[in-house]
Chain A
Amino acid sequence: MKIEYYLPEKIFSNSDLESAFPEWNAGKVEEKVGIRERHVVGQNETALDLAYHACEKLLAGEDREQVDFLILCTQSPDYFLPTSACILQDRLKLPKNCGAFDFNLGCSGFIYGLAISKGLLLAGIAKKILLVMAETYSRHMHQDDRADRSIFGDASAAVLLDAGDAGNIGEFELGTDGSGWKNLIVEAGAMRRKTDPELKPSQDENGNFASANHLYMNGQEIFNFTIENVPAMISKVLEKNHCGIEDVKYVIPHQANKYMLEYLRKKMKIPAEKYHNDILLTGNTVSSTIPIGLKDSIDKGTIKPGDKILLAGFGVGYSWGAVVLDIGFREKNQL
C-alpha cells in the first residue's frame, strides 16, 4: 500500500479563528479539540482538484498505465453528473481500460474504500487500484458557523493497492444507522430540497449559524452515536480477525476530535501509545483522516512492515466500519 496526501495551501489557523470570532476562545480549541490549523480550499478549488494533486504525488515514479481502477470517495463532487472519477481519469491521463466511479461517504469512507478494493482485487476484476479520498467541508459551511469552522479541514489522500495488498487486508466489521441522517447534513442543494438563497441562517444554542443550505452538525448526538457504536465495532472486528487488542500494534480511528477520541480510547481500554489521536495541523479532514494518520505513522516509524493495525471510521450517515490489516513488506521504501 503506497499512500500520499495533499492539503490545500490556504491555512485557517486558530489566530484567524479568533480574528473572525473575537469572543471564541481559540486556545480552548487547541486544548480540547486538538486543532491549531486547518487547510481550506481557495474559491476556485474543489475536492477533485485536491484529489488530482494527491494522485499526482502518489503516481510519481509509478507506471500509471498499470492502474486499471480508480475509486473516488467524496461528498463534494464537481457535478451531480458526470462522475468526478471519470473526470479525474482524464486529468491523470490514466489508461482508458481503467474502471472508475465515485462513492459518497465521509468519515467511514476509507474503510469502505478498502472493502470495495479488496473485493475487486481478490475477484480479479482489478489488478491495481487507485483509491482516493477527497473532501471540502469548508465549501459547505456558513461563514459564521464558528464551531464547524474550528473543526473541519479540507484534504485528499490517495493509496495504490494491488493483489498483495488485498491479501494483507483482513476482515471487516461494517454498519449503518440511517436514523442519524439529520445529525450531520447539508440539507439543501441536492434532489430532496433545493438551495434557497432567501434562507436566513439561524443560531442554535451553541451560537453557531447555519441554514439548510449549509453544513449542520449536532456534535452531541454524534458523540452519543460513537459511544454507542464504536467500542462494540472494535470488539467485533477484533473477534472476526481472531485477535485481541494486544496483537494490534496501532489503532487509527477516524480523527474527529481529540476529546471524543480520548474518551473512546479510555472506554475501550486501549493504551495511549497504541492509539492515534492527532489532528493538530489538519483538523478533521473527514474521509482523509485515517489515510493521513496511516501515512504519518508509517513515516514516523510508529508503524513498520509486519505490524498488525486496526483502522476504524465512523460518522456521517450514520455509517461505520473497521478492519484489521497487516502492513506488508515492499521493495524500496514503499509499504
Chain B
Amino acid sequence: MEKKVFIEKFREALEIKSAAMDENTALKSIDGYDSMSVMAIIALVDELFSKRLTAKQLAEVNNVKSLMELIGPENFS
C-alpha cells in the first residue's frame, strides 16, 4: 500500500479533520485522540493488513511513521 494512501485511510478512520497531519505528527497532539482512536487503529490495521497489534505495542506508537514500522515496512511503498 502506498504510504500516502495509508495516511489518508488513517485520517478517515480516526476522523482527523486537521489537514496538517502527516506521518511525523505526534498522535497524542491530535485533537480528540483517545482510547477510541486506538480502537480505530486496531480495526484499521486488521482490515487492511490482517495484523493484530497488542496494547503494549500500540502504547509505543508515537506517530503514523512508527505505526507503519510496526505493521512492517514491507507492506508499504
In the complex, are the beta carbons of A228 and B34 less than 8 A apart? Answer: no
In the complex, are the beta carbons of A221 and B54 less than 8 A apart? Answer: yes
Known: A28-B36, A147-B35, A228-B52. A223 touches B59 (CB 8 A): no
B12 at the interface (CB under 8 A from A): no
**Chain A binding surface, main DSSP class:** helix
Q: How many A-B residue pairs have CB under 8 A?
A: 42
Known: A205-B59, A228-B52. A220 touches B39 (CB 8 A): yes
Known: A205-B59, A206-B34. A224 touches B52 (CB 8 A): yes
Q: Give the docked Cα–Cα distance between A33 and B43 (Å).
A: 15
- Across the interface, B38 reaches (CB within 8 A) one of A33, A220, A267, namely A220
B58 at the interface (CB under 8 A from A): yes
In the complex, are the beta carbons of B52 and A220 less than 8 A apart? Answer: no
- Give the size of the chain B interface in residues (CB under 8 angstroms): 17
In the complex, are the beta carbons of B39 and A221 less than 8 A apart? Answer: no
In the complex, are the beta carbons of B42 and A220 less than 8 A apart? Answer: yes
Known: A205-B59, A227-B46. A219 touches B39 (CB 8 A): yes
Known: A28-B36, A32-B36, A259-B39. A227 touches B59 (CB 8 A): no
Interface size class of A (residues with CB under 8 A): 10 to 19
Known: A227-B42, A263-B43. A220 touches B36 (CB 8 A): no
Interface string of A210-232 (1 = CB under 8 A from B): 00000000111101100110000
What is the minimal beta-carbon distance from A315 to any residue of chain B, in angstroms? 15
- Between A and B, 22 residue pairs with Cβ closer than 8 Å are A25-B32, A28-B32, A28-B36, A32-B36, A33-B36, A147-B35, A206-B34, A218-B55, A219-B35, A220-B39, A220-B58, A221-B54, A221-B55, A223-B43, A224-B52, A224-B54, A227-B46, A227-B52, A228-B52, A259-B40, A260-B39, A267-B46
Chain B interface (Cβ < 8 Å from any Cβ of A)? 32, 34-36, 38-40, 42-43, 46-47, 52-55, 58-59
Closest 6 CB pairs of A and B: A220-B55, A206-B35, A263-B43, A32-B36, A221-B55, A224-B52
